[in-house]
Structures are given as structure tokens and as C-alpha cells.
Amino acid sequence: MTDLQLSLIAAGAVFIVGVFSYNKWQEYKAKKSVERAFASEHDDVLMRADEAPAYAGGNRSEPQFSMDDVPLVDGGSGAYATPEHGAAAVAPTFAEDAAPAPVRSADAAVPPAELATSLVDPLIDCLLPLELEAPVRGDKLLPVLQKLRFVGSKPVHFIGLAVSDEWEPIRHGTVYTRLQGGVQLASRTTALNELEYSELVTRLRAIADEIGAEPQIPDMIEVMAEAKTLHRFVASHDAQLGVNLATNGAPWAIATLIVALEKQGFDVRPDGRYVMPDGEGGHLFSLSTNVSPAEETTPRLTLLLDVPCVAPARDGFGAMVACAKSLVARLDATIVDDYNQPLSDEALAEISGQVKDFYADMEASDIPAGSTRALRLFS
């Protein structure tokens, strides 16, 4: 080997060592810059290990659900059932959108941290922390984050840690130092599946690159297990209660019924549903004529209570029974079960007791009926 070859080899080795050392130095400076940007003595409520799932060392923990099935019995009335439901996806909410549908109070009346938790909830969402390379204004974040609103039928939401050290929905004019994403683990019909999760990860990495962030991706196997557990809970508590009214004479004319139902307090929705308002933008129960819109008469009406979506304090079942009894007098009808047998006050009282047990079970699972969590899961 000649002196020239030895010199070239030595020069090449020195060059490689120099490049490696320079890259390490740049990496060290970048790391220190990020640490300074995120340095804060604030106690992040959403990231506390004792109050919410956190990502420390790559491990993720979730609250557990009791999987004891709730007995959905009817006390001989046939009125208690768990029908199949179509999925109604909940759109993610950002600052310029309206408040999320489950939150009926005005934004100004809801503390930012509470509103943030209603969007990204550690109990029902897979948490997706994003570490920003530098603080970013909401004006820049919103157009990018809105590209990821759903995976499949599962809604995706984002919240941010503002410079005020409060978690809140992403808003225009506010600077954020951290982001937290969340994809809902289950709905009434399905659990988050592997295909949806893979799509989520791919799209999340793309928007993270666009805004200058590093996402922390939870383990797919763990997330799938949590999603299936939550969906089993939802399926076992997906209950509707029906009370039927049968005419004592000729079938009712639909045109006459509409007048009577409006006097009773029902609203007729654009989709043709009849609902009893709860006074805060939601409804207590609905009514079906059991016939197609083209029909002019019906011999039977059905009042329906979506049990997990109405808070116990509203006494949805009691209000529905009272409404049914009022319609009995107004329309000359009889309250009957699914087999057209009259329902006595004793049978109705027994069902009311079962509803209270159902509510107690949901409360014990930290998903109270009528709560924001319940409305998201059962909408």
C-alpha cells in the first residue's frame, strides 16, 4: 500500500469522524432547545399518572371497566330491549366550530380544562401526545389538525397546552407549547380496529411533520385490547325502553296526531322524528308512529327512552310514562307492552326500579348516564 493510499484513508477517517461529531453536536443543541421551550413547573392535569393515562417510558395505562352484564329484563312487560343502532359519528370540535354536541352549556361557562377533557377524555380515548419543536399559534395548527377529523367512524380531537398553562380546545390567537390528540376507542356499533389505527398512525405522522411535532404512538396491541373492553361495556349498556299506546277505536289520522303531539309538547324534527325537549337543547325521549311517512293513519304509537343518554336527575322514564298517560286521555288509548297486553302501574313501577339499577351500574363505571362521556359513546 503506497503512502498516497494511506494518506487518503487517514483523511477519509478524519472526515467521517468530523461529520459524526458535528451531527451529534447539532442533535444535542436541538434537544436542549426543545427542553427549554417545554420547561414548565405547571402540573399538567391530563398528563398526571394518578389521574389520567400517561406516556412514561412508552407504557400506557387505562382505567378498567366492570364487564358484568347488566340484566335487561322486562318484568313480564317486554318493554326493556337492547336494539341495534346505526353509528352517528361525532365530529371533532375546534375553536371556530360550535361546542361539542354533548356539552350543552356555553363555552364561556365551562372552564377550559373541563372543556378540553370533554374532547380528549383519558377514559374513552386513545391519547396521542405531540411534542412541538417550538411554540405554535392556533391559527397555524387549526387548518392542519382539521385534516384528521375521523379514522373510519371514530372521531379524532385535539387540545393544546396554552402559554397560560391550561389545556383547552385549539383556538385562533393562542400560542400552544404542547398538543394532545385523542381518538375515540369505541362507539355504539364497533371498537377501534387495526385498520383504523394504522390509518390513524400514518395520518398523524403526516400532520406532525407539517406542524413540527413528534407524536408518541401507543402500542397497537394494547390499544386494541382497551378498545374491545370499552366496546363490550357499551354493548352491554346499550338499552332503550319502549312504552306503546294502542288505539281503543279506529286508527288515528296522522294529521290529527301531529296537532295532539304538538299540544303535548313534542317537537317535530326535520327528519320526521317527534322528540320531547329537555329544555337545554337535547331531548328526553322520542315518539314513533310505527308507519312510513306515506301512511295516513296508525293504530299504535311507541315512546322510546334512550336510557344511557338521559341523566337520572331528569327522570326520563318517569316523564315518558307521565306523557303516555296524558296521551291516553287525549287520544283514547291504552298503554300496552310489545305483545299488546295492557301494562299496569305495578309493571311500570317494576321497570322504573330496573332503570335505577341500570343508572347505578353506569355511575359505578365512571360513565354516568347523560354525561358527556355517555353521550359521546352512545350518540
In this structure, are 200 and 52 located in the same domain?
A: yes
In this structure, are 56 and 179 located in the same domain?
A: yes
In this structure, are 214 and 326 located in the same domain?
A: no
Tens of pLDDT, residue by residue over 304-324, are 999 999 999 999 999 999 999
In this structure, are 349 and 221 located in the same domain?
A: no
Tens of pLDDT, residue by residue over 240-252, are 999 999 999 999 9
Report pTM.
0.71
Average pLDDT over residues 2-11: 65
Q: At what angle do helices 138-145 and 194-211 cross, to 10 degrees?
A: 150
pLDDT at 110: 80
- Position 7 pLDDT exceeds 70: no
In this structure, are 330 and 217 located in the same domain?
A: no
Tens of pLDDT, residue by residue over 147-167, are 999 999 999 999 999 998 999
pLDDT at 19: 52
* Residue in the block written with cell 377524555: 121
Give the pLDDT band of residue 12 (cuts 50, 70, 90).
low
Residue 2 lies in a domain: no
In this structure, are 155 and 267 located in the same domain?
A: no
pLDDT at 3: 65
Lookup: cell for 126: 386513545
Tens of pLDDT, residue by residue over 75-100, are 333 333 333 333 333 333 333 333 33
- Best CA proximity match to 180, nearest among 96, 116, 124: 116
Residue 83 lies in a domain: no
pLDDT at 108: 52
Give the pLDDT band of residue 23 (cuts 50, 70, 90).
low
In this structure, are 223 and 248 located in the same domain?
A: no
What residues contact residue 6 under an 8 Å CB cut-off, 6+ apart? none
Residue 39 lies in a domain: no
Average pLDDT over residues 107-131: 90
Distances (CA, A) of 274 to 65, 166, 236, 288, 367: 34, 41, 27, 7, 27
Considering its fold, how many domains does the chain have in total? 2
In this structure, are 285 and 333 located in the same domain?
A: yes
pLDDT at 322: 97
Q: What is the CATH number of the domain that holds 333?
A: 3.30.1400.10
pLDDT at 271: 73
Which residue range(s) make up the domain with 372?
A: 240-378
In this structure, are 336 and 221 located in the same domain?
A: no
Residue 127 lies in a domain: yes
Q: How far apart are CA 351 and CA 73, in angstroms?
A: 8
In this structure, are 59 and 184 located in the same domain?
A: yes
Residue 3 lies in a domain: no
